[in-house]
Structure formats: structure tokens, C-alpha cells
Amino acid sequence: MNKKDLVIIGGGSAGLASAISAYDEGVKDILLIERNAELGGILNQCIHPGFGLHHFNEELTGPEYAHRYIEELKRRNIEYLLNTQVTSISKDKIVTFMNENGIQKLECKAIIFATGCNERTRGQILTPGYRPKGIYTAGLAQKYMNIDGRLVGKNIYILGSGDIGLIMARRMTLEGAKVIGVSEIMPYSNGLKRNIAQCLDDFNIPLRLSNTVTKIFGKDKLEAIELSDVDKNLKPIPGSEKIVKCDTLLLSVGLYPFNAMLKNAGCKVNLETKGSLVDQNLETTIEGIFSTGNVLHVHDLVDFVSEESERAGKNAARYILNKRGKSLNTLNVKHSENVSYVLPTIIKVYENNEPIIFSFRVKKPIKKTTICIKNSAKILLNMKKMNLLPAEMIKITAKDLDLKNSDDLVLEVKEDE
């Protein structure tokens, strides 16, 4: 069986950043595996600007952002395979994959899993009605439009205020389609503020909050939808129904990590994010297997995917090169009721006490908050923060935490008056 020091699965923003970072940290025997015909992942179909503002301090399109990383990968002569599908990984770090050369296996010292996420479909949100033509996930419509040059409809309604749906509202309008409106079942938007302003407000596209699709009309082709307001329990309110004629419905109703392969390998799953349980090094519950990017938890900015994945590459390299030092303590991280999830969920304390980056999201918009990290004995970190939104991931870097003798931590978000 052939061997590699490091195998990275996924050639999008997370996989590219991981590979480059691991190489720069000292691991040169790397193989990156990508199932598509080119590197770059979802970035290749995201032709709109808005990428790179945090990471490169300039505004780039998705393909431009990917190109910078691809060029850096090639400059380092990091090996990669295209049109190659990984079929399984095992807890003893054997990667099985297939391509035109048949089925192959690789034994490796470490694996970084960077396969991204999937869109939630109509079946997952249980929308009643027939299954006519004209219903697409927003990401699929984006691919048809930007890669294949195909406009999927002329009179379009969008369910869900996720960023892809908002961006497609603008894109479809610019291509001559009529975007009738956007409905969001929650009482707040799930998209970034800038996308609400630039993609809806600038084009006078209405956003209906606490509103959803409750019925679909049309057998062979979509003819209309029924919209209903919902109550605080997200149940349709009788008498609020409204019929809207349209030929296309785009679904932007959330993303979920493409995590099945890690689960099958034996990595424990984070029930809140649907990704893997990881420690502060982004290492899963199987030693030497790391997870990063949208397969770990869904990010709102690709810049944050890159930053996180650079950490994954660095930590995988340090694992391979035996640079982590002696393990001193292991503890869990929990969160308060205002928080939907927090990462990491596990902290392994080593001799070299490095800063710990906590990432989390709140369950509802909060104007004024106090954020603290504490154990049973004392508060270790305390800070004020304004205007927290569920659509925006929050990151906190905690330095100089003495956790050698600590018990479990709690990240708490208090709503201030």
C-alpha cells in the first residue's frame, strides 16, 4: 500500500488553505484529492465580488479568490488529483479513492477533511404539494446561471434569506428575470446585512419575515405558491394565506456539513452543527484526523474558512512532526442558552500554551451583550459586544488561559439591558 504523510480531501477554499499551511509548517509529502475537474470548489460559480476583504484586504470575485490559492499550491508543487472520488476513510487513516486508474488505497499519518456542505432541499423542510419543474436550490440555480449560462426561470420567488438566495435575487434581476419577493420563516434575516442592502434593497425586492411557503401549485410545471405568515412557534396562521403566481421557486433554506464519511469512520458528531466534534486544533475524536471549513460548521465568509483551514494545516503538520508537546489536561466546552453552538467542544491542554479561538453563533439578534468564558471556579475572559446576529459567526481569541488544572468551560452570552 502506498503511503503519504498528509492527505487532504476537498480542493475548495478549505482544502487549498490547509495544504499550503501544512507545507509551510514543514510537511512536504502531501496529496490533495478533489472530485471535480478543477480546483476551487464552490468559489468557481460565485462570480460576484465580496471575497477577500478580510484575508487579502481587497475585494475579489470567487474565481479570483480561488485562483490566488491555486497559484500558491502550484508554486509549492503540492501534489493533487482531480476527477477523483474518495469513497471511505478509516480510523487507522487509510483513504480509499477511485478515478480513471481504478480503486486505490493510501495509508497516511494524518487526514484533513475539507469537503464543504450541502444545501437543504424541499424534502428536508417538508413543503407540501406536487413535484413540478421549476423548484431549485439557490446554489444549483447559481451553477446553472454562472457555469452553464442557463436562466432557470422568468418569474421567481425565493424561500429563505440565506446569502446564496439573496445573491441570486440580484443575479436573476440583472439577467432580466422578475424576482417577486423573498420569504423568511424566522422573524429576522439569515443573510449578511450587506447582502440584504445590496441584493434586495437596491432592487426594491421585498423581504417578508415570519412568512413561508405552505403550498405548491402545478403538476408538470410550477404555476403558483401559497404564502402564509407564521406565529412565534413557526406554525402557519390561518387566514394569512396569499397566492403568488410564479414559474420558479428557489430554496435558500440553510446548509449542512457533508460529514457522512467522517461519521462512518467513527468520528463523533456534534449534534448542533452536524459536523464533527473537534478540539482547539480542529482534530476530531480520532487522533490524526482533522476537519475544517463548512464540513465542520457553516461559515458566512470564505475568508474565515481560509483562516480556520490554515490552522488545520498547521496543526496537522505539528501532529505529523511530533511538535505538540506533552498533554496535560482535557476538558469540555459548553455554552449558555442564547448560543446555538460553540467550537471547540473539547480542549486538550499541551505544554505549549497557545491562544484558543472560540467560534460561535447566537440563536437570536442581541443588541448589547456580555460574553464570558468561565469554569466552575472563576471567569477567565469577559468582554462586551454589540449587535450579535445569528447570520454572523463570532470569533474570540483567548490568550494565556491557564487550563492545566481547569475543569470544563462554559461560554456564556448574557443579554444586557
In this prediction, residue 325 has a pLDDT band, given cuts at 50, 70 and 90, of confident
pLDDT above 80 (res 49):
yes
In this prediction, residue 34 has a pLDDT band, given cuts at 50, 70 and 90, of very high
Instruction: State phi, psi for 157 to the nearest 5 degrees.
Output: -120, 145
Give pLDDT, residue 140.
Answer: 95
210-239 residue pLDDT tens: 999 999 999 899 999 999 999 999 999 999
188 and 101 housed in the same domain? no
126 and 236 housed in the same domain? yes
Count, residues in the chain: 417
67-117 residue pLDDT tens: 999 999 999 999 999 999 999 999 999 999 999 999 999 999 999 999 999
CA distance 20 to 69: 8
With contact defined as beta carbons under 8 Å apart, do 159 and 216 qualify? no
pLDDT above 90 (res 312):
yes
132 and 197 housed in the same domain? yes
pLDDT above 90 (res 122):
no
Lowest mean pLDDT among 125-129, 175-179, 274-278, 307-311: 125-129
The rounded mean pLDDT for the chain is: 94
Say which amino acid occupies 348.
Answer: K
Say which amino acid occupies 226.
Answer: E
238 and 280 housed in the same domain? no
Give pLDDT, residue 215.
Answer: 94
- Of 223, 253, 283, at which residue does a domain stop? 253
Give pLDDT, residue 125.
Answer: 74
pLDDT above 80 (res 1):
no
200 and 307 housed in the same domain? no
Mean pLDDT of the region 281-287 = 97
104 and 147 housed in the same domain? no
Give pLDDT, residue 190.
Answer: 86
132 and 245 housed in the same domain? yes
Give pLDDT, residue 417.
Answer: 78
User: What's the grid cell of residue 353?
Assistant: 500554551
89 and 18 housed in the same domain? yes
339 and 280 housed in the same domain? no
158 and 215 housed in the same domain? yes
Q: Which residue has the cell 445573491?
A: 167
Mean pLDDT of the region 311-340 = 94
Domain total for the chain? Answer: 3
Q: Give, in order, the Cα–Cα distances in Å from 113 to each of 15, 79, 247, 309, 390.
A: 8, 16, 39, 10, 26
CA distance 235 to 123: 18
CA distance 109 to 290: 11
Give pLDDT, residue 401.
Answer: 87
227 and 375 housed in the same domain? no
Give pLDDT, residue 353.
Answer: 75
123-158 residue pLDDT tens: 777 777 778 999 999 999 999 999 999 999 999 999
- Of 253, 274, 293, at which residue does a domain stop? 253
- Of 324, 346, 364, at which residue does a domain stop? 324
CA distance 251 to 156: 11
CA distance 332 to 314: 23
Quick one: what percent of the chain has pLDDT higher than 90?
A: 88
Element (H, E) at 241: none
Mean pLDDT of the region 271-286 = 97
57 and 30 housed in the same domain? yes
Which residues form the domain of 161?
121-253
User: What's the grid cell of residue 369?
Assistant: 451583550
DSSP letters for 291-347: E-GGGTS--S-HHHHHHHHHHHHHHHHHHHTT-S--EEEEEEEEE-TTEEEEE-SEE
CATH of the domain at 133: 3.50.50.60
With contact defined as beta carbons under 8 Å apart, do 2 and 29 qualify? no
CATH of the domain at 407: 2.60.40
